[in-house]
Structure 1
Amino acid sequence: MSRQDFTPIPSPETISKPREAAFIALMVMTQLLTQAGLAQTVVPGQFISRTMGVAGDAGEISWFTAAFSLGVGTFILIAGRLGDLYGYKNIFLISYVWLALWYMLCGISHYSGNVIFFDVTRFCQGLAYAFATPNSIALLGHFYPPGPRRNLGMALFGGIAPGGFVIGALFSSMFLETTTWPWIFYSGAFVACAMVGLGWLIIPKRIGSPDEGVFDYLGAFTGVTCLVLFNFAWNQGPVVGWDKPYVYVLLIVGILSGVLFVYAEKKAKNPLIPPSVINRDILFMLGCIATGWSSFGIWNFYTFQWGTLILGESPTRVSIQFIPCMIAGMCCSLLTGGVLIRKLPTSAVMVIAMACFLVGSCLMATRPVGQIYWAQMFVSCIIMTGGMDISFPAGVMIMSNRLPKHQQGISASVVATTVNYSISIGLGFAGTVQYYLQKNGASEMKAMRGCFYMGIGLSGLAMMIGLVFLGSQFVFPVPGEKSEPDSDSAPAEDVDGKV
């Protein structure tokens, strides 16, 4: 069957409004659940550490979250390509079956008291979301042609991220106060099973024509090896110290694997990241997203730690303080999809987002102990949300519009890999700062401020990259850049990129 025969059943023109709304909601749920999964150890981390016998060990506690982000960020690189080859809906359903299994095992790890087993289950949960996320985006990107309907779906996908984190934080806090922490993960298994059933019924058939290429095994092996080892070294360093030889040996091997990955991609017939996707502007955009979201990961994790450990507030109270992010996030995403990405150059959109990351990080880093919530933290939450929900939807839309329909999984993979991997790496950087500050006698409060300052440095770097990007677009514009179609009637490209 040719690609032209793969028309979705029902198509965008014939699908009923209730089913279309349910389809979009189901895809957006993947982003909500991913961010909720992140919160599932940010909030109860101190309680879990007591069960696992590592109470007070900041490095081990940060691994609870970093392991999850490592799983998400690393394997997204290949998950989108597998969706292109074997079907986005198939990979979507398999990922949630896998997620249900590892949520159950994560709850059961309570009885083992083994922190390594717990970290492995968190990594495998992240692995499930790594496969679900790009294929959810690809289902939206392939079902709708370029235009307002696709942009709305992408904007909602990005805008739900803060809401997902807040919902995950609130439910985790409720479980902590009413039962034991394993039920946080048992409930996640029930939700994953529901996603399998709903996905089977609601997602239209035949979305996406199978790519006729082959899978790039060498690129996948070298790329995943690079990402895993580089990340592991940075997150393990704060736990055991950088004086341990195996830590920096793994870091070096990871870097060498990255070099091999670049070489393998240049030689591959069907590379994981097609060279046609990457140009100067895309590299600038990904550089902004990587450094900006690294600072967000630090801000997110240590804002909760600050509230519970320094201010002595309950997990529920701290979670409630993040509720304004839900409204601000959705507004920013709709603004991005409806106005910013259509009216402003890519570089200007990224500068706005990076400015939000920088200002939000500065507000939390300088917040005095005992200050009221509304003075700096409330403002920081609103502004930081702007950084998230301007940069992510913009990045996905830009990448999605650069690729033909049968490669939508790749576009989703590139942006989602950058976002989630950067969160994990940012925690590794901050954990290293905290480890050495406390080792040299700094108090817990001063060590946390040092982590916030690390976030300021990363967001400041993001702002510099954004400004260089802005200048380069005006001085040296990239020829032949494709503008975004304004309606759903825009023709889709075929396999050769021809209209």
Structure 2
Amino acid sequence: MNDSTSSVESKDVFQIGAPSSTDQGLHRPSTHPDIELRSANDGLTSKKHGDLELAQIKSIAETLSPIREFLFIGLLCSAQFVTQAGLVNTLNILHIIGSDLGITDPGVLSWLIAGYSLTVGTFILLSGRCGDVFGYKIMLVIGYIWFAVWNVVAGFSAYAPGNRGQVLFIFARVLGGIGPAILLPNALGLLGATYNQGRKKEMIFSLFGACAPGGAVVGGTFAGLWSLIWWPWTFWTFGIALAILAVLSTFILPSVPLNPEIANLPYKKRMGELDLFGASIGITAMLLFNFAWNQAPGFGWYKSYIYSLLIVGLLLFIVFFWVEMRVAKKPLIPFQALRTDVSFVLICEACGWAAFGIFIYYYIQILQRLRGASPLLTMAQISPVAISGFIAAITTGHVISRIGPGWVMLISMLAFLMGSILVATMPVHETYWKQAFVVTLIIPWGMDMSFPAGTLIMSDAVEKRHQGMAASLVNTVVNYSISIGVGIAGTVDTRVNNGGRTEYDELVGYRAALHLGIGLSGMGVLTSLLFLWKMHTRERRDTLHGHSAKA
């Protein structure tokens, strides 16, 4: 079906089959012949089975007034914005919170950050499936409310006596991370279901990515401001803002009709679409494995429960793969449908974002602990990432269809590598403008290029009916890797810093952790080069086959 035909047809029908994809909007036509052929085959197959998603149909966005569309895009981009704000608002005043709650061990402090990213990454796959089954809008409202409640609880931990305040704050941070896990895949899903493919959709998804560094800066800045009065106000005001977003979402976001096969099912039967058995095993495995890595730096690997949890987590991962491949009728991750390209993408994303987690944590530690920067001065020095990140996201939206997502992925991994090297080699008392400033310009290109590139490659690597899983999988790897990266780096830090007794000892630990980030991002660069080589080999083979067929 050509563009002119589809544009005529698009005026006659509404979108009633929302894509089961959290990244359907990022799936652009490719110039690669193999991908074009696969897309054509997908279309023939879908028509054969009467798939409602196929028709080139009038987008829901076309029915919205300009003002409502503006608010709609703003609300969905807020999901990315508040996720990063929730990460950095705690990171920026980490030592103020730690001092008030009696947390001084660096290993335990890092858990306040890693615990949040842990649940963000762990629950995304299940949350994305819930959006497909129960509706994206209702899941977004639930996500904002959930996130709001646990931020308010985190603020009230200041009133808890003794060590109970520590426990309550960590508990609230860990459970609060489920909120962004609900928001991210369902915001992307609603965007993908609302807009048809095209340049406008590409730019909106790029804008979604551009909100990440902006949210980090705004969240950290308000945390610094509220810390001048009392740090709990950081979380109370954030909770109020999230509650307002929940109310606005109720009235402004459009409802996308569910797939008729699911919509006609009673709620009890819809639960069967979620693969709760497989999800519970996978979530438990991820929680235990991550908990062990992030608990060990503060409490020591010699504790028997640490390595016991690590072993149990690894065994549960094996059980999860077996359940998904052999037992589950509707698996959370259909491994049989994944091509080899997927492994390259996930390794790149995992390495790059683990390096980023290490970078952002230890960059702020160097600024505050070794250079004596206040939380507000820290955010002032980090603020260029918002501008650079916006430019990177918009640039990615323009070039990704021209040079291909493989090259964009390589550039993003190089940005992570260069940023990690600059921070690891940065003299403590060097002027800000030599390396610290340059880092804030480089690192956003890793963030805002790797995510859309990875999503596009995953989108091309799986069938249309698995698009939702592909985007959720990328989101899971990104956020889970941040947590794992910080946990492993914390172990490296505490092993070499001699207890952090002096400034020099702290610096030794920080640099050792950052060297781990260099190694991880370097592995990402190598993996992306191997992926490009694989793509080049495939194109060359297809070209030769094409010439042979013509002959």
| TM-score, scaled relative to structure 1 | 0.91
CA contact (8 A) 1:364 1:452 kept: yes
CA contact (8 A) 2:420 2:518 kept: yes
CA spacing shift, 1:211–1:66, aligned 2, 3 Å: farther
Out of 78, 88, 97, the residue aligned to residue 136 of structure 2 is: 88
Question: Comparing 59-68 with 401-410, which one deviates more in the overlay?
Answer: 401-410
Question: Comparing 386-395 with 432-441, which one deviates more in the overlay?
Answer: 432-441
CA spacing shift, 1:373–1:44, aligned 2, 3 Å: same
Cα distance between partner residues in 2 of 1:413 and 1:257: 21
For 2:198, the aligned partner's letter is G
CA contact (8 A) 2:15 2:60 kept: no
Are residues 1:97 and 2:156 paired? no
Cα distance between partner residues in 1 of 2:78 and 2:60: 21
Are residues 1:318 and 2:378 paired? yes
Out of 184, 188, 211, the residue aligned to residue 238 of structure 2 is: 188
Q: Offset of 1:106 from its aligned partner?
A: 0.7
The alignment partner of 2:273 has SS state of coil
CA contact (8 A) 2:353 2:482 kept: yes
Q: Offset of 1:205 from its aligned partner?
A: 2.0
CA contact (8 A) 1:226 1:254 kept: yes
Cα distance between partner residues in 1 of 2:461 and 2:71: 27
What runs of 5+ residues in structure 1 fail to find an aligned partner? Answer: 481-499
**Which residue is 1:171 aligned to?**
222
Cα distance between partner residues in 1 of 2:505 and 2:79: 39
Bigger-Rg structure (1/2)? 2
Q: Offset of 1:282 from its aligned partner?
A: 2.1
| Per-residue deviation, residues 399-444 of structure 1 (Å, max 9, x unmatched) | 4566777765433311111111010001001100111112477711
RMSD: 2.2
Cα distance between partner residues in 2 of 1:459 and 1:60: 25
Cα distance between partner residues in 2 of 1:25 and 1:402: 30
CA spacing shift, 1:417–1:70, aligned 2, 3 Å: same
Alignment of 1:78-157 (within 5 A): 78-113=126-161, 114-157=165-208
Are residues 1:283 and 2:330 paired? no
Are residues 1:198 and 2:260 paired? no
**Which residue is 1:487 aligned to?**
none
For 1:464, the aligned partner's letter is L
**Which residue is 2:530 aligned to?**
468
For 1:462, the aligned partner's letter is G
The alignment partner of 2:103 has SS state of coil
The alignment partner of 2:61 has SS state of coil
Q: Offset of 1:143 from its aligned partner?
A: 1.1
| Per-residue deviation, residues 421-475 of structure 1 (Å, max 9, x unmatched) | 0100010011001111124777111111111111111111111111111111112
Q: Offset of 1:275 from its aligned partner?
A: 3.6
For 2:236, the aligned partner's letter is Y
Alignment of 1:54-453 (within 5 A): 54-55=103-104, 57-113=105-161, 114-177=165-228, 179-206=229-256, 208-209=258-259, 212=262, 214-267=273-326, 268-275=328-335, 278-339=338-399, 341-399=400-458, 409-439=468-498, 443-453=505-515
CA contact (8 A) 2:339 2:462 kept: no
The alignment partner of 1:321 has SS state of helix
Q: Offset of 1:215 from its aligned partner?
A: 1.6
Cα distance between partner residues in 2 of 1:6 and 1:473: 33
Are residues 1:45 and 2:94 paired? yes
Cα distance between partner residues in 2 of 1:92 and 1:196: 8
For 2:60, the aligned partner's letter is S
Counting matched residue pairs gives: 475
CA spacing shift, 1:19–1:276, aligned 2, 3 Å: farther
The alignment partner of 1:371 has SS state of coil
For 1:468, the aligned partner's letter is L
For 1:286, the aligned partner's letter is L
CA spacing shift, 1:479–1:289, aligned 2, 3 Å: farther
Cα distance between partner residues in 2 of 1:359 and 1:210: 49
CA spacing shift, 1:149–1:39, aligned 2, 3 Å: same
CA spacing shift, 1:5–1:454, aligned 2, 3 Å: closer
| TM-score, scaled relative to structure 2 | 0.82
**Which residue is 1:495 aligned to?**
none
**Which residue is 1:454 aligned to?**
516
For 1:446, the aligned partner's letter is V
Are residues 1:25 and 2:87 paired? no
Cα distance between partner residues in 2 of 1:260 and 1:238: 27
The alignment partner of 2:177 has SS state of helix
CA spacing shift, 1:191–1:402, aligned 2, 3 Å: farther
Cα distance between partner residues in 1 of 2:404 and 2:452: 14
For 2:82, the aligned partner's letter is L
Q: Offset of 1:285 from its aligned partner?
A: 1.1
CA contact (8 A) 2:341 2:458 kept: no
Q: Offset of 1:319 from its aligned partner?
A: 0.6
Q: Offset of 1:158 from its aligned partner?
A: 1.0
CA contact (8 A) 1:238 1:431 kept: yes
CA spacing shift, 1:413–1:143, aligned 2, 3 Å: same
The alignment partner of 2:123 has SS state of helix
Cα distance between partner residues in 1 of 2:468 and 2:173: 24
CA contact (8 A) 1:73 1:421 kept: yes
CA spacing shift, 1:477–1:24, aligned 2, 3 Å: same
CA spacing shift, 1:399–1:17, aligned 2, 3 Å: farther
CA contact (8 A) 2:16 2:256 kept: no
Q: Offset of 1:278 from its aligned partner?
A: 2.1
For 1:77, the aligned partner's letter is L
For 2:249, the aligned partner's letter is G
**Which residue is 1:488 aligned to?**
none
Question: Comparing 398-407 with 147-156, which one deviates more in the overlay?
Answer: 398-407
CA spacing shift, 1:200–1:109, aligned 2, 3 Å: same
Cα distance between partner residues in 1 of 2:540 and 2:324: 23
Q: Offset of 1:184 from its aligned partner?
A: 0.4
The alignment partner of 1:243 has SS state of coil
Cα distance between partner residues in 1 of 2:140 and 2:457: 23
CA contact (8 A) 2:339 2:461 kept: no
The alignment partner of 1:431 has SS state of helix
CA spacing shift, 1:400–1:465, aligned 2, 3 Å: closer
CA contact (8 A) 1:357 1:384 kept: yes
| Per-residue deviation, residues 311-360 of structure 1 (Å, max 9, x unmatched) | 01111111111111111111111111221x20123322111110000001
What runs of 5+ residues in structure 2 fail to find an aligned partner? Answer: 1-13, 19-56, 263-271, 543-551
| Per-residue deviation, residues 141-187 of structure 1 (Å, max 9, x unmatched) | 1111222222112111111111110111111101112x111000001
Q: Offset of 1:394 from its aligned partner?
A: 2.1
